Structure 1
């Protein structure tokens, strides 16, 4: 009997975790930012905890993009193609879907996430680049978030129904389908058709959802929504849906489940998932207001402990808390750790960041100067320019207490405002000159993110409320003992204990004027943060320990996955 690489993963029934992007490693550009990194951390924690998951995502052969920054601060995108054969194994199965009236064939590659404690989790990378397909269809799994709405809908067909069919063809037994955002929601329609017996439309073309076994489908599906604004949810015209999905598509059923005017994949996921989750308490409350009548739970996001701790921090934790990787809650005993040992570990991580800055950009920053880092997707609501509202005040502040800045992030290729923000940041840094030394680092990826979240002295986050559903970069910083100075939105509304884990900006109340955030940011820096950093090593070390002992112990994907397992996956009655 032939043993295949999949055999060890087919022995138990699994939760199939569908995500348009999963950050597997920096060398594999199958992610654009927070959603993909969260998905990767989720799978890594599942491997650590030996949870029976299987990931499903697109192979994205052309990747997201490699970022170049010109001397003028303009972002230039280059294709970040990669070869899946160098990282994954081809799998012996193909399935076909009807898209625009023709057969589109789909196969998959197997990537295995291996835990440092021995666990394994399989991830299927769906690939349509097959000789059976037309050149147009072969490109459907090339670009992550590339192309127009037609390309996007076709990709979501491949991810959802295509991924589900490949799981069946490969022999997986699936106990739950977990939709990480609404991109894979069309698989719910395939489940509905299967629940109806033959997979055909109901007799006499009855479109009402009651004609299907909706309850059976709902009991199989878990949905996590990440988007706090209505405009951020995928919507498609029914003319496009009819053309792409084909003439046998039950449009009346889709209108009932996905919206009368446009097909809203979030609406389908809400209607056909028994367990719906927001990614922070505030986001769950907002989602309940956006989608009244649905129960939205609040299992908050987290980060993978081992992945995001700097090498020096890992060694410190290993020496004090031998099981911290799988039991991050043991870090609540951080007060027992010698403060100077923690400071030494932090300085090693900071030196690594400053060395990268010097080698990559030719800019020399000082290890004794407080370093503020800001890194995330460059787009308007993230407000990366908030810190630069008053350059004169920044200069005056830096005369009394020196500070330096390290910034990174990509703008989506179609986000003109995000690109203009990157140019503006370069202009501001140039105007500040030697008064406040700073640098923008191109090529933001997992490796650079790890350097930043561990090498910063303070982590800055300035979203426009309530646009930050969760945010996870500050969680990564906390794991390394780096306190946050952040607007009270998303996870920070739960994580901020003023003067203990970091500092909050804003009031987290309805109707507050966000124009005041810049002045409050300056006030906190000038009167609290900088004086503490330079005036009291002991006080600063207590802040570092507060970030670890109050935030890192809670905001990790081990806690997230244990809650999903107990509250969403294993419940016999959802």
Structure 2
């Protein structure tokens, strides 16, 4: 199985053939294949001079493939469609398993103690069940709040102690530094943002309208503070520029102590930050966030998410358990989309998030806020643990792979050898197959691509298979153009083998049209074998136009 972790081009390695030959030139001989056959496994177009793609090679040498969230699975189908040109992206075997996080690692000690006490000592065995987490709803709001505040206070103390001396040492103005350290307020709404500073993660989004941001963070009645942290790849100048930009803004007088950047981002800081803030913010460029796990880690600690509906949050968001920016793009121009998303964030903060957090009604906490925390833990957290992720991998992929591997290797690899020989003979004879005739009723409808409900239609295909002995699948495929003019798969219907005479075969389909509208239609022919795990495993395809 090949698990793809990113749709970002920089995450997929390509190598020149000369460089590949220097290090892997001996491999084809060991495999019993030619250098051309080997290098072709890493090219979308095997007869071209394309660079060798590690991802394409993985797709061509693995039975299964998956993305790391539902949305990323769909994006991966689009991204990998050129590898299997006879199929639409929607048909590909590329699946998904949404990432999860290891709860015992990322849930703070205080929360784990609470979970064990109130959910039961066998809580970890039942961590993927909503019914287990539903017990959080019965706990007093005060208990939830005090647990969170204890962790939040520890984060504040860590920042003061760990960064205080360093900031004082590097600062030309100790008085300002002391003011910042003392100004970190455990009673403020703390919003965290921590990740690798790749440009698509849009760490700059919050700073699109500095005047509006200034009003939010300098409201004396409702204090709000932002904690940023992260690192950029040494070769990523854009990411490094974002960090520099945030640091410069954090040093402006109006943002001193309100926008704080924490250096030396590592697992130790991450564990404190994701558990100690009130909100975890994520603002990726849709749909480039394959999954993202920092928000899932926050979930395990009752921290609420404010994120674009991308990656795991596309599936995870529940109304009343966090906040979301739509997954839909309004503007093709990314700069305009950034401004719109920034405005949405400001609106959410001013109109929903900040008022809810400070709606105390004479208490030290907001009942509405704590209820949102409970909803988040009850309805979201159980679905994003490592345990659930592993269950999915076993159910969707690992068990299937193990069973097929055992079957192929049984009896001295008998089935594997038979399948290999079938593929070889089928590939050699494939081009000898000829289309004798295609007959369609309602020919006017086929020419105009217009379908009417209730129309009775017949499609008849006559083939001369020549030297080809393989069984075939013949199907009528409907497709429709989307707004960008790309053909999108709609449906397929199998034709039935109704006559066989030597190498000549006749396939037929009679049906009543049940789906009105404008479609493009064609026939597709594929070789068939019961031991193929899926169609892309042997992607010989012949398309036949309907006239």
Please tell me the TM-score bracket, short chain as reference: 0.5 to 0.7
Would you say 1:285 and 2:74 are equivalent positions?
A: yes
Query: Which residue, out of 232, 238, 258, partners 1:437?
Result: 258
Unaligned runs of 5+ in 1: 1-221
On the 8 A contact 1:459/1:484 being kept in 2, the answer is yes
1:101-128 per-position Cα deviation (integer Å, ceiling 9, x unaligned): xxxxxxxxxxxxxxxxxxxxxxxxxxxx
When the two chains are superposed, the root-mean-square deviation of aligned CA atoms in Å is 1.8
Q: What is the Cα deviation at residue 496 of structure 1?
A: 1.2
Correspondences of 1:384-533 after superposition (within 5 Å): 384-400=203-219, 401-431=222-252, 433=254, 437-498=258-319, 500-509=320-329, 513-533=337-357
The structure whose Rg is larger is 2
Question: Which secondary structure state, in structure 1, belongs to the residue aligned with residue 358 of structure 2?
Answer: helix
Q: Distance in 2 between matches of 1:307 and 1:357?
A: 21
Q: Distance in 1 between matches of 2:215 and 2:385?
A: 38
Query: Which residue, out of 299, 305, 312, partners 2:97?
Result: 299
On the 8 A contact 1:479/1:551 being kept in 2, the answer is no
Q: Distance in 2 between matches of 1:556 and 1:541?
A: 22
What is the number of equivalent residue pairs in this alignment? Answer: 352
What is the match of residue 534 of structure 1? Answer: 358
TM-score by length of structure 2 reads: 0.62
Q: Distance in 2 between matches of 1:404 and 1:277?
A: 38
Question: Which secondary structure state, in structure 2, belongs to the residue aligned with residue 258 of structure 1?
Answer: coil
Q: Distance in 2 between matches of 1:326 and 1:426?
A: 44
Q: What is the Cα deviation at residue 395 of structure 1?
A: 1.5
Correspondences of 1:168-567 after superposition (within 5 Å): 222-246=1-25, 249=28, 250-259=34-43, 260=48, 261-292=50-81, 293=84, 294-321=92-119, 322-328=121-127, 329=129, 330-362=132-164, 363-364=181-182, 365-400=184-219, 401-431=222-252, 433=254, 437-498=258-319, 500-509=320-329, 513-536=337-360, 537-567=366-396
Q: Distance in 2 between matches of 1:528 and 1:389?
A: 20
On the 8 A contact 2:73/2:96 being kept in 1, the answer is yes
What is the match of residue 528 of structure 2? Answer: none
Q: What is the Cα deviation at residue 463 of structure 1?
A: 0.6
Question: Which secondary structure state, in structure 2, belongs to the residue aligned with residue 303 of structure 1?
Answer: coil
Q: Distance in 2 between matches of 1:265 and 1:510?
A: 34
Q: Distance in 2 between matches of 1:509 and 1:399?
A: 31
On the 8 A contact 1:462/1:487 being kept in 2, the answer is yes
Q: What is the Cα deviation at residue 253 of structure 1?
A: 1.8
Q: Distance in 2 between matches of 1:450 and 1:229?
A: 26
1:489-540 per-position Cα deviation (integer Å, ceiling 9, x unaligned): 1111111123x22111234357563431011110100100000000151110
Correspondences of 1:11-22 after superposition (within 5 Å): none
Q: What is the Cα deviation at residue 420 of structure 1?
A: 1.3
Q: Against the structure 1 CA distance between its residues 432 and 273, is the aligned structure 2 distance closer, same or farther, given a 3 Å change threshold?
A: farther
Q: What is the Cα deviation at residue 389 of structure 1?
A: 1.4
On the 8 A contact 2:286/2:327 being kept in 1, the answer is no
TM-score by length of structure 1 reads: 0.59
1:162-211 per-position Cα deviation (integer Å, ceiling 9, x unaligned): xxxxxxxxxxxxxxxxxxxxxxxxxxxxxxxxxxxxxxxxxxxxxxxxxx
On the 8 A contact 1:399/1:435 being kept in 2, the answer is no
Q: Distance in 2 between matches of 1:399 and 1:438?
A: 11
Q: What is the Cα deviation at residue 255 of structure 1?
A: 3.0
What is the match of residue 521 of structure 2? Answer: none
Q: Distance in 2 between matches of 1:315 and 1:248?
A: 53
Correspondences of 1:115-126 after superposition (within 5 Å): none
| Structure 1 runs, 4 residues or longer, greater than 6 Å off | none
What is the match of residue 570 of structure 1? Answer: 399
Q: Distance in 1 between matches of 2:114 and 2:355?
A: 27
Q: Against the structure 1 CA distance between its residues 248 and 402, is the aligned structure 2 distance closer, same or farther, given a 3 Å change threshold?
A: closer
1:396-430 per-position Cα deviation (integer Å, ceiling 9, x unaligned): 12343210111111111111111111111111111
